Amino acid sequence: MATTALVTRDRNTQEQIMALVLDGLQSRHSRRAYRRALTDFLDWHAESGQRGLSKATVNAYRRTLLDRGYSAASVNQRLSAIRKLASEAADNGALGEQAAAAIGRVPGVRQEGQRAGNWLNVRQAQAMLDAPDTSTLKGLRDRALLAVLLGAGLRRAEAAALTFEHLQQREARWVIVDLRGKRGRVRSVPVASWVKAAIDAWAQAAGIGAGRVFRSVHKGGRLDGDSMTAQAVYDVVRCYAEPLGFDALAPHDCRRTFAKLAMKGGAPVPQIQLSLGHASMATTERYLGVQLDLANAPGDRLGLRI
């Protein structure tokens, strides 16, 4: 593949280009994100009349993204995809080693501070759990799914992949055993009795007890397959969040809610970290917002008033 072919609007050629990058990624989420990032870059390259692939080209694209108001995280993700494209192209003889190395030195965007994120309080979380119509099969499934997200802190992909075989008894309590999460990390998550009760109610009504816990339900109220996707998990959360006024709530915010409510309930932070499967305590602290006390903020103690 010639260097000039690396930047084209021909879809067949673009697929060949992206295959250089995507084939080396294990996570389907990463593949989807990188595909979108590279498609956007290649389209911009053609529309802006750029020639070739160089450090100057990538710097120009970086500036364009910033001018369009993209966040630091979004810009950095797109730059990562382009750097990997340059690296793979060099390995395959389609780009010079020096050009690829120069592109690799294009700096990311420094992200100042950190986002507070979203989470629910106890009343709001309970409203989410009470929202599904448990007189229907779909409602029982959705309540069990929300219980796993809010009550065990699973990621949406982990919830979609959860099996009945993961649920085992340890020391007289139910535990999700040997759950494989992000970056292949394996962890076990203790499950509260109410979470297990919600799963049992769904399983009994659906007549299932092996394989995937969560499955598609036909509009007619019957099982429609033996699994459900991570996107379907996202859709379930949005389905109940929006009518309750939680317009910005996503499945990962349910995970954050689990951590926040557990901490407020007195759970030790190291145990929360283990349940979430975080390799770093700093990551758990970001979830908990321990560096930002919204209930006892500095501004509340200034002695000023209007």
In this prediction the pTM is 0.61
Q: What pLDDT is attached to residue 14?
A: 64
Does 293 have pLDDT greater than 60? no
Q: Which residues are registered as beta bridge partners of 168?
A: 175
CA-based nearest residue to 294, from 114, 116, 111: 116
Q: What pLDDT is attached to residue 34?
A: 86
Percent of the chain whose predicted confidence (pLDDT) is above 90 = 41
Q: Write the pLDDT tens digit of every residue in 146-180.
A: 999 999 999 999 999 999 999 999 888 899 998 88
Tell me the CA distances in angstroms from 297 to 92, 160, 209, 240, 289, one per residue in order: 55, 38, 48, 31, 12
Q: Write the pLDDT tens digit of every residue in 258-268.
A: 988 888 888 88
254, 244 contact by CB (below 8 A): no
Q: What is the dihedral of CA 120, 203, 276, 24, to 10 degrees?
A: -110
Positions of E strands within the chain: 167-170, 173-180, 186-190
Which residue type sits at 76? N
Q: What pLDDT is attached to residue 129?
A: 94
Fold (CATH) for 3-104: DNA polymerase; domain 1 (1.10.150)
If pLDDT is split at 50, 70 and 90, which confidence band does 110 have?
A: confident
If pLDDT is split at 50, 70 and 90, which confidence band does 213 have?
A: very high
Q: In terms of DSSP bridges, do strands 167-170 and 173-180 run parallel, antiparallel, or are they unpaired?
A: antiparallel
- Give the CATH superfamily of 122-288: Intergrase catalytic core (1.10.443.10)
Residue with tokens 């959705």: 142
For the chain, give every domain's residue range: 3-104, 122-288
Does 2 have pLDDT greater than 60? no
Q: What pLDDT is attached to residue 209?
A: 94
Cα distance between residue 228 and residue 226, in whole Å: 7
Round the average pLDDT of the chain to a whole number and report it: 84
Q: What pLDDT is attached to residue 19?
A: 82
